[in-house]
Amino acid sequence: MKQCIIIGASHAGAQLCVSLRQGGWEGSITLIGDEPDLPYHRPPLSKDFLSGDKAIDEILLRPASVYENANVQMKLGTRVGAIDRIAKTVLTDDGEALAYDKLVLATGARVRHLPVAGVDLDGVYYLRDTTDVRAIKAGVAKGKQAVIIGGGYIGLETAASLRKQGMEVTVLEAMPRILQRVTAPEISEFYKRIHSEEGVQILEGVMASEIKSSGDALSVHTACEQNFDADMVIIGIGVIPNIELAEMAGLDIGNGIEVNSFCQTSDTDIYAAGDVTWHYNPIYERHIRLESVPNATEQAKTVALHINGKPKPYSSLPWFWSDQFDLKLQIAGLSEGYDEIVIRGDIEGSRSFAAFYFKGDQILAVDAVNSPREFMFTKMALTKGQALDKTILADSNADLKSSVL
Ligand SMILES: Cc1cc2nc3c(=O)[nH]c(=O)nc-3n(C[C@H](O)[C@H](O)[C@H](O)COP(=O)(O)OP(=O)(O)OC[C@H]3O[C@@H](n4cnc5c(N)ncnc54)[C@H](O)[C@@H]3O)c2cc1C
């Protein structure tokens, strides 16, 4: 019997188990993950799971019975330390050597560490998994102070979740504006306004340089000699892909594990899927690494099709979402390289609008806040390669469909 081993039990790994079986794989499937929980939805960690609105059972990707019915052997709480490509085995940290015919690396990403003194103190957290969030939740209490280092989506979502639970929240962003790496200045300004209306203090251009403790109290010091007292500090300054296994095994690496359009690595029996991949996107005609659930799911399906002998090249439009307070942001496409932004709706006074990113006359992406129609419409247009009329998009009374040129 053929054997497929999947390393990484999260969005990509869990999807792959199901898609492999549905696609007709008759061999064994072993899913190895170093976290203790069954695979769960990671996005709620900074949203409903942190705010206490959902328990672990409510964020599981699939119930245990799905893996049982698909005859998946689960090895949770187990870390893979090495791959032997000659023997075609993976070596687990508890000393087992497991043989594979097909191997899939769905090892995702881990948090980027903040290189300052004091990050190991009690009360200082990162936020990537359920263990992190359980520890954070134990310290959440109305009126306590949280300092969040990093004003990206995860930092801002965390700020919103803690604020909703009555904490006093300050966000320190080192760059001149929050969300600088991922969005336009207009959108950063919008989120700053909303957080301020909700009582979150956002400070930009402020670099944390040290965290100190005295008794139970923490204090974040900055490069410009400010001090921020805190009961807890949460660091959210991005992630790095878990490429080390692949690198040690001699696979090709770019800004992630390099894969072809079928998610195969430079070893044809080893695949990769999800946050860890460095892959070519045919829509944007360049290599990218994405940190998004839809990408992890789609790449897992691509791997399953290829392993099952029904190859279909990966070609998906990147999309993403972020929930903060009553705002549902949906993003379709990649805005990098835009030279013009077209706003539909009242970005300065309301809580719903859409921002369309253009390069010349070509639509690149949309950021749609509480505007699902604009999101769906643009996602479709980008997938079909349609051109859109900027003047019509900017007129919120005009029918969106009439913007198609
Ligand atoms: C707080 C938070 C909020 C997010 N919000 C959103 C959102 O709103 N929308 C969105 O689209 N995306 C969001 N994301 C990103 C999304 O969660 C990721 O894109 C997604 O989890 C990627 O799935 P993956 O399976 O590729 O990898 P991961 O989810 O990173 O899982 C990889 C797994 O592999 C394990 N692993 C790694 N190395 C080994 C090893 N050697 N042995 C065994 N196990 C190993 C890891 O511990 C992990 O469990 C969010 C992420 C976080 C942290």
Q: Are 53 and 146 members of one domain?
A: no
Best mutation site among 11, 42, 62, 98 for ligand 1, i.e. most ligand atoms within 8 A of its Cβ?
Answer: 42
Q: Are 282 and 140 members of one domain?
A: no
Q: How far apart are CA 307 and CA 230, in angstroms?
A: 51
- Compute, in angstroms, the gap from residue 239 CA to the centroid of ligand 1: 10
Q: How far apart are CA 170 and CA 167, in angstroms?
A: 10
Q: What are 186-204's pLDDT values in tens digits?
A: 999 999 999 999 999 999 9
Q: Are 216 and 244 members of one domain?
A: no
For the purposes of burial, counting CB atoms within 10 Å of the CB of 13, is it exposed (0-12), middle (13-18) or buried (19 or more)?
A: buried
| Pocket lining: 10 vs ligand 1, CB cutoff 6 Å | yes
Mind giving me the DSSP string for 117-157? BTTTSTTEEE-SSHHHHHHHHHT--TT-EEEEE--SHHHHH
Q: Are 369 and 295 members of one domain?
A: no
| Pocket lining: 330 vs ligand 1, CB cutoff 6 Å | no
| Pocket lining: 257 vs ligand 1, CB cutoff 6 Å | no
Q: How far apart are CA 105 and CA 13, in angstroms?
A: 8
Tell me what pLDDT residue 30 has: 98
Q: Are 245 and 97 members of one domain?
A: yes
Q: Are 193 and 207 members of one domain?
A: yes
Nearest atom in ligand 1 to the alpha carbon of residue 13 is 25
- Please report which confidence band the pLDDT of residue 216 belongs to, taking 50, 70 and 90 as the band edges: confident
| Pocket lining: 106 vs ligand 1, CB cutoff 6 Å | yes
Q: Which amino acid is at 394?
A: A
Q: What are 247-303's pLDDT values in tens digits?
A: 999 999 999 999 999 999 999 999 999 999 999 999 999 999 999 999 999 999 999
Q: Which amino acid is at 57?
A: D
Give the end of a domain, one of 193, 216, 235.
235
Considering its fold, how many domains does the chain have in total?
A: 3
In degrees rounded to 5, what are phi and psi of residue 339?
-125, 0
Q: Are 269 and 355 members of one domain?
A: no
Give the end of a domain, one of 173, 207, 235.
235
Q: Are 354 and 367 members of one domain?
A: yes
| Pocket lining: 318 vs ligand 1, CB cutoff 6 Å | no
Question: Do residues 18 and 61 touch, judged by C-beta distance below 8 A?
Answer: no
In a domain, 228, yes or no: yes
| Pocket lining: 328 vs ligand 1, CB cutoff 6 Å | no
- Please report which confidence band the pLDDT of residue 214 belongs to, taking 50, 70 and 90 as the band edges: confident
Domain encompassing residue 358? 326-403
